[in-house]
């Protein structure tokens, strides 16, 4: 049995396939397994508390894990060690989440493309058809993650408190969420996974996309992401498409296409959940 995992900061998607590439389980989820946010102990607890993983554990021969926070040697090693402790007899391979986005969006194995992730966090890389090239080292959600869920959550909260929202949007936002200052600060500064807490607010944008304020908020985030991330590959984007993976990208397709026209890059494919593309990729390459 082969386990394929696409892990972000908020959630991890797991699917099992057999040695012939046939899917033998429905997708199941655990909490996100980001080693930049969680300790090794917490990673183990999340995995060991999964009934599905417990049921499959003895039959697993391979684990292919693609995760946020696994692009550094420390994060990669932490996740690898945790998985090897759980799946002692399995071959374990850990790669950064950008490779999941690559396999989930490219149309053929040797296709060159710039591939972006816009989910709870954000990232962007160039895949030359064989290797991944990263020109920006992520410094995490506080300093980077432009146009991500946690970026937009932070912008919405700031606009709410600075009175920069239209009144009807501010009333709707305050009605949907607990915006008491002490509650917001407690979740950001005292609770684990503050990036996931911030990303939860991004849903509000896509429930209110008829608002000019919301449309411009989304587009401005995409412009900043394009300037800081996509244009690191300004020569490559002249000739290759820019693919997008993640829920933020999926629901902001119209705004991404508008910004692409403004800033001069070619939009390629959108994939909300890269796990499906990963299953197809590994099924073909067993």
Q: Which of 25, 102, 30 is nearest to 59 (CA)?
A: 25
Helix, strand, coil percent values for the chain (each to nearest 5): 45, 20, 35
- In which order are the strands placed within the sheet that holds 11-17? 28-31, 11-17, 2-7, 62-67, 91-96
Q: Where are the alpha helices (DSSP H) in 192-265?
A: 194-200, 203-207, 212-228, 247-251, 253-263
Write out the two tokens for 227.
């300037």
Structural domain boundaries in the chain: 2-101+275-284
**pTM summary value:** 0.82
Q: Under CATH, what is the fold of the domain 2-101+275-284?
A: Nucleotidyltransferase; domain 5 (3.30.420)
pLDDT by residue for the chain (286 residues), tens only, comes to: 999 999 988 889 999 999 888 999 889 999 999 998 899 999 999 999 999 999 989 999 999 999 988 988 999 999 999 999 999 999 999 998 888 899 889 888 789 999 999 998 999 999 999 999 999 988 888 999 999 999 999 999 999 999 999 999 999 999 999 999 999 999 999 998 899 999 999 999 999 999 999 999 999 999 999 999 999 999 999 999 999 999 999 999 999 999 999 999 999 999 998 888 888 888 877 6
Write out the two tokens for 115.
């591939």
Cα-based distances in Å from 31 to 7, 38, 91, 121, 273: 8, 11, 23, 15, 15
Can you tell me the distance from the alpha carbon of 101 to that of 244, in angstroms, rounded to the nearest whole number? 8
Q: Left, alpha or beta for 145 (phi > 0: left; psi -120 to 50: alpha)?
A: left
Helix, strand, or coil (residue 266):
coil
């Amino acid at each position: 049995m082969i386990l394929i995992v696409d892990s972000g900061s908020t959630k991890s998607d797991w699917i099992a396939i057999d040695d012939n590439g046939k899917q033998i389980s429905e997708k199941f989820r655990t909490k996100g397994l980001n080693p930049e946010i969680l300790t090794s102990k917490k990673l183990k607890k999340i995995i060991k508390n999964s009934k599905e993983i417990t049921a499959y554990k003895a039959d697993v021969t391979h684990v292919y894990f693609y995760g946020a926070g696994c692009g550094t040697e420390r994060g990669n090693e932490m996740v690898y060690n945790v998985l090897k402790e759980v799946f002692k007899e399995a071959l374990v391979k850990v790669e950064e989440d950008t490779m999941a986005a690559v396999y989930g969006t490219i149309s053929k194995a040797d296709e060159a493309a710039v591939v972006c992730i816009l989910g709870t966090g954000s990232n962007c890389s160039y895949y030359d058809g064989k290797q991944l090239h990263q020109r920006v080292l992520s410094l995490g959600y506080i300093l980077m993650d432009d146009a991500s869920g946690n970026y937009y959550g932070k912008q919405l909260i700031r606009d709410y408190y600075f009175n920069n929202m239209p009144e009807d949007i501010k009333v709707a936002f305050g009605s949907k969420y607990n915006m008491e200052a002490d509650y917001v600060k407690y979740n950001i500064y005292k609770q684990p996974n503050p990036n996931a807490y911030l990303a939860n607010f991004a849903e509000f944008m896509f429930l209110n996309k008829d608002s000019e304020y919301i449309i411009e908020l989304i587009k401005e985030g995409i412009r900043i992401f394009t300037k800081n991330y996509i244009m690191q590959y300004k020569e490559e984007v002249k000739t290759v498409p820019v693919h997008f993976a993640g829920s933020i990208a999926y629901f902001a397709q119209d705004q991404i296409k508008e910004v692409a026209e403004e800033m001069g890059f070619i939009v390629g494919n959108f994939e909300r959940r890269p796990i499906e593309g990963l299953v197809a990729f590994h099924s073909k390459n067993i």
